[in-house]
Amino acid sequence: MRILESIENRMNISRRDFMSSVSAACCSILVKGCANNAKPTRPPSVILILSDDQGYADIGVQGPKDVLTPNMDSIAQAGVRFTDGYVSSPVCSPSRAGIMTGRYQQRFGHWFNGYPPSENGVHLGLPLSETTLAQLLKTAGYHTGLIGKWHLGADPGYLPQDRGFDEFFGFLRSLHSYTNWEGGIDGPIYRGREPEHEKEYLTEAFTREAVDFIGRNAETPFFLYLCYNAVHTPLEVPDKYLQRHPDIADPERRKYLAMLSAMDDGIGAVLDKLKECRIADDTLVVFLSDNGAVGQTVSNYPFRGAKKTIREGGLRVPFLMQWPKHIQAGQVYREPVIALDLFPTIAAAAGAVLPKDRSYDGVCLLPYLNGEIKNPPHDMLFWKWLEGEAARSGKWKLFKSKEGILSLYDIKNDAGETADLSGANVGIVKHLDTALSAWVSQLAPPLWTQGKSYPVSK
């Protein structure tokens, strides 16, 4: 550690940037040499699967008895399950902005969801100053596709095709009916830039398009961003999926689990297509939810809070990754990671060079998963939302209300954030609060106002 500090001081860079550079270098070495001495014949294809509003406990591998998700579970069994996997925002659009850039979205003013196409001349979308993961992978020769929910801009210049995606099939805004495709709740379904007259249950349509994309592009490296809108409302699902849960008494819970099952079938079809095309070993697959679940029929157990809060229930999500022969199967990784890590991890696997004109908050996870780096990937993680601010370091989580009231939780032993330990740990509170304030000082003002009023869960 003293050697690292000496090098860091001589280079005059921050510890975060220094450790990120170490991680990136190790990541590059691992990808070139690869775990278990397996040498890829080409860069891997990448499939990033995002569910919408899925609860932490609403996936079989996390332990619930009423959830049927064998295909999601298989990703964990073939790779790694992150028990402490976070997103950078408790709502959809900002979370997706973080995923697509590898940076805390507040650094570039993307704090809130955007609903209309524009507001007072401000485009409610991912700022054009930011480089998306799709744009980066195109520089490395990847063919790119987005299927499903975008929610990062509906104005010209902000559409998926303007942000690095060669192909797009899906919708642009925050939610969509699964059965009313002609206009729907939030605009039409598009193929490219043209409305599509879709007739299939939307989850199944997204699966159909994903399988087709894989089949057409199997011979060259591709990036598929598969963004199911399941299990976001409205709760709409064909009877054939409802029949899988005959013993669920609550009709809303039954619909939710049926929608989850339909998405799981889709993920299974995607994984089967990789095997059929003989590229399963050459494909990095990631699955996570964009934020925690909300409502009485979902489960963020054992956490406090839900979507729209920066309690654990709004931020900690199902988070899985597989890359056969490169990530050891069956791992359970218990150090905190964040969705921002996906950008540098995928970039390193693909051999893409990160832009030098900005800093990244995510780190490449591969050397941590393969044991090359023993320390946790992050000294601290940070969040800020309407209800306040939060920081996590190791087992400690500091919560700072919008009124400035501080509380401290041992999140490893008190996942429900029930016992405030701030009084007995004044030094830890001061340390975390100082770091949190320093992070907040780096953030840009919101580019637009909060479009809808969100109640704050206590």
Residues recognised as catalytic: 92, 151
Separation CA 388–CA 50 (nearest Å): 26
Bridge partner list, 284: 46
> Which two three-digit tokens encode residue 33?
């040499």
Side by side, the strands of the sheet bearing 222-227 are 194-195, 190-191, 167-171, 143-149, 222-227, 45-51, 283-289, 319-322, 80-82, 331-333
Measured distance CA(396)–CA(425) in Å, rounded? 10
Comparing C-alpha atoms, which of 323, 322, 353 is closest to residue 24? 353
Identity (one letter) of the amino acid at 7? I
CA 262 to chain centre: 20
